[in-house]
Structure 1
Amino acid sequence: MKILVLGGTSFVGRAIVDDALRQGHEITLFGRGKTGVELFPEVERRLGDRASGDYESLRQGSWDAVVDVSGLLVRQVEAAAEVLGERVGRYLFISSHAVYAQSGVLPGSDEDTPRREPVRADSVEELDNDTYGPSKVACEDAVTARYGARATIVRPGKVAGPHDPSDMFTYWVRRAAQGGRVALPGDPEQPVQIVDSRDLARLVVQLVADHRPGAFHAVGPAEPVTLGGLIETCARVAGSAVEIVPVPPGSATPLFPLVRADWPAQQRSAARARAAGMPATPLEVTAADVLIWDRERGEPPLRRGFSAAQERELLARS
């Protein structure tokens, strides 16, 4: 198949392109040419800028499918669809669990859970916790309105794996590897869902190959896990021992790595995606691979989590 990827050189897009190439598909990358320029030298590149609406390089050619990894604003999605028109067979949009209504969620909720009201945000600067989800809803609606049964929506949960720029899972992998008393500003029994980036990629490429419409959750791992269990798994993989010490939630930032107050939102159903072919990489494998990657890159400072000094102070009071 010929697949056009809108944003395919950073983390999720990178994993999708890797998987598609392994499956023998022909890939075209569209982006600004500023990220991951050394990646995929064998792949055709079309330069453009979604922020400014520059899609001129896509006015020629046709593809069996487009995978939209980088669409944040509905005007970006509408502009891409307008330029591509009928020259693509399927439009797969990478969305988010942030599209869902934030109240009344039950454990095991599926893709038919009510979504938030769509919002047309005019610029990336406007996207925050209040507008990101509604903007993604508007993007989903634009794709389905334009392509109908040729539209596919994938809604990942927290994605983890090598090359993850968010530090959300990497923080716990690195901290658990250090061992000792570990400060957790939350409940160790909190459920947590992460999906390996390679499992997400395999799902996306399989959905495209199967011409499968509809919406799909990309969540994992296969077996339910608590946040405390995740930290202990990371420690076990690293050969260290940890003692998890709950500390007051108020001591952390609102987006502390993987700590969430809405537990049902961390227990969504992956049944539809599993039936469509999404694999389930064991959490131990994801943690081991992230540990290796993090060490190979020299363990740079993380933007999330406690600093060593902050954690020492909290543990001294606990």
Structure 2
Amino acid sequence: MRILVLGGTSFVGRAIVADALDGGAEVTLFGRGRTGPELFPGVERRTGDRDTGDYASLGPEHGGEWDAVVDVSGYVPRHVGQAMDVLGDRVGRYLFVSSHAVYAREGVGPGSDEDTPRRQPVRDTEELTEATYGPLKAACEDDVTARYGSRATVVRPGKVAGPHDPSDTFTYWVRRAARGGRVAVPADPAQPVQVVDSRDLARLVVRLVADRRGGAFHAVGPAEPVTLGGLIETCAVAAGTEVELVRVPADDLPGPFFPLLRPDWASQQRSSARARAAGMPATPLAVTAADVLAWDRSRGEPPLRCGFTPEAERERVAGRP
């Protein structure tokens, strides 16, 4: 199986390439060549830049036909449009990695599936904000489906966790739980959360390509429902520590987002049934936590970009029961 991966050296793309290679696929990478140039020695690389529209290295004059393209790097319709224009029918299937941000936020109940109403697609901007990210992804989905029809596949991940995660969100709780003690939680610990292991997402993507499955699929996990408090406690078990969860006010948080806190709880209870039936595995949350902890320690535990600093956390839990 020949797979072209658009953006395959950073986190999700990296996991997809690793899974594909482990399964014996012939992989070609397309990207700017700035992230992870030392990864995957011997794999063919085509250099270009989606932001400037430089897809020339994928042109027919340079050769190459693939059973599937996996697009991890498309964020606006221009990205996918230019990629599709240059590739045409030299790819058998176009798998687009989208996001749960495409869904409308109203009227979503627990167990919602891939047929949940989406937000209205937008095409008049390329500015990625909280308001535009989902609608732009929805427009990308529509364009891929319009061009490739039954040969189009859309994967909509929820929060992805695993080694090499650049977002720090799951890593924050793993590292915090590993320190043990009183943990400040600026939300209801009973809030449901969904995180999917990056390697499970990768396995789903490669299986969908190999099985030539079209349609949309939720990549959500873990296998069993978990709350924010349960996730923190699982991280502590994986680290061999003990924690005490302390509810603190949610005012004056550091930054606009706090790791894994979501006001729309129903969006953290989406159905994974279709993806599981298609072959997505379910790595236990404790395994994901242990692997992230080992990876974080191996890189020297650099400063995180989100969450409380230890000093700020101590101030918040001081004097609280």
TM over 0.5: yes
Offset of 1:251 from its aligned partner? 3.2
TM-score (ref. length: structure 1): 0.98
Deviation digits for residues 225-275 of structure 1 (CA, Å, limit 9, x no counterpart): 000000000001111110000111113243100011111100000000000
Offset of 1:96 from its aligned partner? 0.2
Is residue 2:58 matched to residue 1:58? yes
Offset of 1:122 from its aligned partner? 3.8
Q: Counterpart amino acid of 2:59? A: R
Deviation digits for residues 250-303 of structure 1 (CA, Å, limit 9, x no counterpart): 132431000111111000000000000000000010000000000000000000
Contact 1:185 1:251 in 2 (8 A): no
Q: What is the aligned partner in structure 2 of residue 19 from structure 1?
A: 19
Alignment of structure 1 residues 168-247 onto 2, 5 Å? 168-247=169-248
Offset of 1:121 from its aligned partner? 5.0
Q: What is the aligned partner in structure 1 of residue 297 from structure 2?
A: 295
Alignment of structure 1 residues 54-93 onto 2, 5 Å? 54-60=54-60, 61-93=64-96
Alignment of structure 1 residues 106-117 onto 2, 5 Å? 106-117=109-120
Unaligned 5+ segments in structure 1 are none
Contact 1:156 1:219 in 2 (8 A): yes
Structure 2 CA distance for aligned equivalents of residues 56 and 96 of structure 1: 27
Q: What is the aligned partner in structure 1 of residue 99 from structure 2?
A: 96
Q: What is the aligned partner in structure 2 of residue 266 from structure 1?
A: 268
Which 4+ stretches in 1 moved above 4 angstroms? none
Q: What is the aligned partner in structure 2 of residue 47 from structure 1?
A: 47
TM-score (ref. length: structure 2): 0.97
Structure 2 CA distance for aligned equivalents of residues 40 and 132 of structure 1: 30
Offset of 1:317 from its aligned partner? 4.9
Structure 2 CA distance for aligned equivalents of residues 77 and 211 of structure 1: 20
Structure 1 CA distance for aligned equivalents of residues 284 and 42 of structure 2: 31
Offset of 1:191 from its aligned partner? 0.4
**Alpha-carbon distance change, 4 to 261 in structure 1, aligned in 2, over 3 angstroms:** same
Deviation digits for residues 141-166 of structure 1 (CA, Å, limit 9, x no counterpart): 01000000000000000000000000
Contact 1:66 1:88 in 2 (8 A): yes
Contact 1:121 1:131 in 2 (8 A): no
Contact 1:74 1:142 in 2 (8 A): yes
Q: What is the aligned partner in structure 1 of residue 283 from structure 2?
A: 281
Pick which of 199-208 and 57-66 moved more: 57-66
